[in-house]
Chain A
Amino acid sequence: LAKTTQPISMDSYEGQEVNITCSHNNIATNDYITWYQQFPSQGPRFIIQGYKTKVTNEVASLFIPADRKSSTLSLPRVSLSDTAVYYCLVGVQAGNMLTFGGGTRLMVKP
């Protein structure tokens, strides 16, 4: 399973664009990159998933370079309600097991 590394925490201000980068040097050929968001006392919520290049949905964009050894989650114009922990996950283990790391704690300030 590809090990992921992402910042422990980030601060931003309302209205700014936030980019969270995740490193996954040993990503396997079949692995997809998935980002989840978690608010306190709630379950992880699927945000976006990609395999290569760029994926965009109504919430975020995901940028994946050609070598796929990293990925960047981009949140446009964040608001206070985007304060959460963001997890980068790569691939799955046996039984479709997800392995969560510590994630990136994003604090959005007014």
Chain B
Amino acid sequence: EPEVTQTPSHQVTQMGQEVILRCVPISNHLYFYWYRQILGQKVEFLVSFYNNEISEKSEIFDDQFSVERPDGSNFTLKIRSTKLEDSAMYFCASSVRPNSNQPQHFGDGTRLSIL
């Protein structure tokens, strides 16, 4: 069964440094997402991306964050200057189309630890 893959599985970064999290969505999916989950808390939406542009973003997704689809397969999340509170699991997801009846398929995440 096709799956969403994320790299790295764990990233440790000094505060203030830039970090790029990478995702390969399922190949025939057109809609891409990033979510995060701080330890012990709920899964939170960050951003959705369709047709090479952001469809929606949450309040969490401030100017420090950006997303890109640099080629036909990868989807990246960049945090420009990391803060301690950015420490979390970051999940990439994809879906075939942007509808309620099209489930999103999640990767296993990148654990980001900011020191």
**Residues of chain B within 8 A of A102, CB atoms compared:** 42
Binding site for B on A (CB under 8 A): 30-32, 34, 36, 38, 41-46, 49, 51, 87, 91-102
Question: Which chain B residues numbered 33 to 58 have a C-beta less than 8 Å away from chain A?
Answer: 33, 35, 42-45, 47-48, 55-58
**Chain B at the A interface: SS class:** strand
| Band of interface residues on B | 20 to 34
**Residues of chain B within 8 A of A36, CB atoms compared:** 106
* 29 examples of A-B residue contacts, CB within 8 angstroms: A31-B100, A34-B103, A36-B106, A43-B91, A43-B106, A43-B109, A44-B43, A44-B91, A46-B103, A46-B104, A46-B106, A51-B101, A87-B43, A92-B98, A94-B56, A95-B47, A95-B56, A95-B98, A96-B31, A96-B33, A96-B55, A96-B95, A96-B98, A96-B104, A97-B33, A97-B45, A97-B56, A98-B35, A100-B44
**Residues of chain A within 8 A of B105, CB atoms compared:** 46
The list of the 8 closest CB pairs from A to B, nearest first, reads A95-B56, A43-B106, A95-B48, A100-B43, A95-B55, A96-B98, A46-B103, A43-B91
